[in-house]
Every structure is written in C-alpha cells, then in structure tokens.
Amino acid sequence: MSEANIKPKKERVVVYIDGFNLYFGLKDAGFENYKWLNLKLLSDNLLKPNQELAAVKYFTSRVSNNPDKQKRQSTYLEALNSVGLKIYYGHYQSDKVECRQCGKIWPVYNEKMTDVNIATQILIDAFQDKFEMAMLISGDSDLVPPIKAVHEYFPKKRVLVAFPPKRHNSSISLVAKGSMTIGRKKLADSQFDPEIKKRDGFVLKKPKEWD
C-alpha cells in the first residue's frame, strides 16, 4: 500500500460531562428549551474532522425530594442510556441552613462526589491509554488538579475544556490545553427527537416543561 493511501490516525477523544454544571449553565443562560440534549450528538458536534469519539461519560446525582423533577431526570437518564452513555452517580447530601434573623431552619441539598468521580475516571483512562485528548465539559475549578496531573504525567495527552454556557472559569482555562464555550447553535443542533423509541419498544417523551 502506498503512503498516499494510508489514512492518518485520528485522535481519540473521551468526553467527560459534569451534569449539574451543564444543567445550571443552561438554566442561567436562559436556554431552558435546550435541556433535552443528546450528549453523544453534542460530543460528536464538538469534534474536529481529525478526531474520533472513543467514549462519553456523564456524571450526575439523582434528584431527591421533588417527584416531578425526579420523573423528568429519570426520563432524561433513560434517553442518555439509549445512545450508549456511561453514567456515573454521586449523591445528594442533606444539610440545614438557619436564618440568623428569624431562627427558621430549612433543609438544603448539595450534590457530592461528581468532581471526584470525574477526576478518577480521567486519570484511570489516561493510565489505560483510552484517549489522546480528554474533553471536559465543566466549569468547576475543583477539576484543575486532575487536568494538571494528566499533563504532567502524560505529556503526549491533553485535556481540552468545553465550558457550558455561563460557566467560563479562568483557573481551568489556564491549565487546559485549549478551551471553548458551548454556544447556542451547538446546543440547538444536538437535541434528541421529541420521542425516543428504546430497544424494548418503550417510547420516551420530552418533558413538556422543557419545551
């Protein structure tokens, strides 16, 4: 085979998505109607022609204490499963906040473990040589250490950051080897169909609240 017929090897990309960072970025930007987001398609749409998608990993926690939100989230997670995403779960931690003026106490819930789970997966995949480039969709500065670690211990690999809307973070962009902000057009071009038929025949429907 002549050298002219040898196709250049494509750069393998694994995409790591901070689910809540992306969700609240969409919400803060007023992009409520883009929540029915096909993250595999979005990942493909963010790649360059010389790159290929090796895997997409999604990190989130199950919503609690709100049946309507739980139902919408479950539908969305099933939609992501239908296109082959690997989902990693953290958890919600309950805490209490007290008003200093009136003394009233109410519960708050904080999402935990996502940054740790993302850091662990990026480093494991680097050690197992699963990618040449890791694309991180997040603006969480807690992910600076794993980005720096990949670049230090794997100088031939790189981490690029795709910031969700309204989630640009200078500390991350300084350590990443490239960054971008996901724009409205990429979101609009990466939506699921209103109805998704699963392999077992069950039809998932886009939540009405997301229209």
Q: pTM higher than 0.85 for the full model?
A: yes
Q: Which two tokens stand for residue 194?
A: 């209103």
As a whole number, mean pLDDT of residues 7-13 equals 90
The average pLDDT across 189-204 equals 95
Q: Hey, is 112 helix, strand or coil?
A: strand
Backbone CA torsion sign across 139, 116, 34, 180: positive
Give 141's contacts (C-beta < 8 A, 6+ positions apart).
169, 171, 172
pLDDT at 96: 59
Q: To which H or E segment does residue 42 belong?
A: helix 39-46
The pLDDT tens digits of the residues spanning 70-104 come to 999 999 999 999 999 999 998 665 555 566 677 66
Residue 103's pLDDT is what?
67
pLDDT category of residue 3 using cuts at 50, 70 and 90? low
Higher-confidence residue of 208 and 109: namely 208
Distance linking the first and last C-alpha atoms of the chain: 53
Q: How far is CA 196 from the centre of its chain?
A: 20
d(CA 101, CA 104): 8
Q: How far apart are CA 117 and CA 134, in angstroms?
A: 15
Strands of the chain (E only): list them. 11-18, 51-60, 86-89, 91-98, 105-112, 133-137, 158-163, 179-181, 195-197, 203-205
Taking only the tens place, the pLDDT of each residue in 159-169 is: 999 999 999 99
Residue owning tokens 């999604």? 58
Task: Report the alpha-carbon distance of residue 132 to residue 126 in Å, rounded.
Answer: 8
Q: CA angle, 8 as apex, 7 and 13 as ends, to 5°?
A: 125
Q: What is the pLDDT of residues 118-157, one digit of tens each?
A: 999 999 999 999 999 999 999 999 999 999 999 999 999 9
- Count of CA atoms in the C-beta half-sphere (13 A) of 182: 35
Q: How many CA atoms lie within 13 A of 70 on its CB side?
A: 7
All domains of the chain, ordered by start, with CATH?
9-210 (3.40.50.1010)
